[in-house]
Structure formats: structure tokens, C-alpha cells
Amino acid sequence: KCVFGVSGGKFLGFMLSARGIEANPDKCMAVINMVSPRNLKEVQKLAGRLTALSQFLPCLAEIAKPIVGLLRKVKKFEWSIECEEAFRMLKERLGSPPVLSKPHPQVDMIVYLCVSNEAISAVLIQKVGGQQPIYFISRMLQEAETRYQLLEKVALGLVHAARRLRQYFRHRVVVRTDCPITKVLRKPELAGRMMAWSIELSEFDISFEARGPVKSQFLAYFVNELQPRGHFVSDLWTMHVDGSSNSQGSGAGIILEGPTGLNLEQSLRFAFKASNNQAEYEALLAGLRLAQEIRVRRLICWPDPKVVAEQVNDNFQVKDSNLLKY
């Protein structure tokens, strides 16, 4: 059946109006009027209702973490103070959910990424007379993913957003984050899962900017609640470098090992003639540049051979005029 000449109405479970896409008030009230769950079945019912409203709830995975955790405890059910506080906060948010804007094809999509110890979240917005939210997504991290370094978690958040919001990522996307993932994802010499994510994201037109000020109230909730604790690189890193030279040319190999198991590998071929000792120094400088790009603050370097380390530490005297510039 068709309806003509109306200012708004329900469509696919949402409310469409001149303002944009709004949450179905009946679904919101169904959660607001619920009493605190008393058993696992009622928690499952609550989780289902929250999932239906997830795109209107910033940081849902992080807020609902105590409640969702009950679904994993089959033998013992206990509605804790943390669960009650999360339930209260969700009701408060659903009392005035954000209005999602209709995307404009000619305006860049802007993505904000946030992570916590156990959740990743993203919000898609456009600047049309202000910062207008289009979609909120979030999910809990798997047990193995919680051990990722913060840099990897942010990259995973971007990959998850690109998969969930693929239709929006067909437009030009600007990612606003203070994490230096752009320096890492654009390295062609990456190895492991970071390389796989870099290849997956390469099909999209993605650029990166500093996060900058947040003016929307719902974006402020989003950024503040999942603000990462600590720095993106705040512990000790280890770097192994090795350079070599022969009749066919010269090059270097670099391995950066992060404090939580992140490994970055890079191989270089020099476009100039260099002696073996010069190649060792060039390898060391290239490794230090890579560490600087990803904001490593504390670093132990293991050059090979050790003579380079001794010369850098002024334990050996440099007599070769070609090495004095290093």
C-alpha cells in the first residue's frame, strides 16, 4: 500500500521525517519501560532490543559490556551494580536519541574512531550546517583482539567500519584520529595482519586528518567515553637493523618489535653506491625514521655489526671520512 502527502512515517522499523532518520519511539520505550532483568532470558530480550537500536547509540558495545557479559556466564546470573548503571545510562540515551542525517553524495564522509580495552567504535558524520551524525557502530573485541596494541586496535576499528558501512565508503572518506595509523598503513613493506588490512582498505578513497575539535553533543559522548587510556606508543620498543653491500647493490632490513607483540618489518634497496659500513648506518637511520613516524618514544636499537653501535656511542673513533657525516 502507498501513502501520499505525509510529512513522515515508519519505514523498515525507523521513523522517516524531514529532519532525517529517527529511532522508532515504540522500540525506545520498550527498553525504557523494562525493569532490571532477573534472569538470562530477560537479558537476551534486552540485548535484542538494543541491537535493533544500535545505530542510534554511540559506544553501545562499551556501555553495554557488563550486561552482555552476563550472556557468557551460563551457570551464574548476577545483576551487578555495573549492570544497573549501564542499564540506566542506556535508558537515558534512548530518552533523547540522535537524529541521523540523510547522506549527501557531494559531501565528504568523516569517520571518528575510538577504542577501549575491550571495544572498538566508529561514527560516520558529514558537515552540512554542522556535524551531523549518519551512523554509529561498535562491537566488542574478541579475546585475542584485546591483546592487540592500541595502534592495531584503531586500525581494526577502521577496517570494521569499512566492512559494515561499505556503501558509504564508496564516497571519499576522511578519517579523523590522533593515532598515526596513516604512517603504518601506507608502508608497502608491512607484514602480517597490518599488511592484510592495508590491502583491504586500499580500494577506498581514504585520507587522514587530526581529530580536531568536536562540537556535537553526541560526538562528545562518543569521544570522551572511549578515550584510550595512555599513549598510542608508551612503552619500550626494540629495533633490529642490518645493512649490506655487494657488487650488485646495497640495502637494509629493519624489524621493529612493539611492547605487546606488534612487529613491523621493512626492507630497503638503496639507489646509490654504498660501502658495507655505509649501508649499516643507512639502515640505522631508516629504522629511526620509521620509529619516529609511528611515535615511538622509548627504543632499544640492536644494529649489526656492533661496531656501528660503538661508534654512535663514541666508544670507537671514526677515521673513515665517508662515515663522519653519519
Its pTM surpasses 0.75: no
Nearest alpha-carbon partner for 110 in 90, 133, 81, 129: 133
Burial 217-249 (b: 16+ CB within 10 A, else e): ebbebbbebbeeeeebbeeebebbbbbebeeee
What domains does the chain contain, in order, with CATH numbers?
9-95 (3.30.70), 109-225 (3.30.420.10), 236-312 (3.30.420.10)
pLDDT in tens, 249-265: 787 788 887 766 667 77
The answer, yes or no, to whether residue 4 has pLDDT greater than 80, is no
| pLDDT score of 35 | 92
The vertex-167 CA angle with 180 and 211, nearest 5°, equals 25
Query: Amino acid identity, residue 225?
Result: E
pLDDT tens string 97-137? 888 888 888 888 999 888 888 888 888 888 877 778 888 88
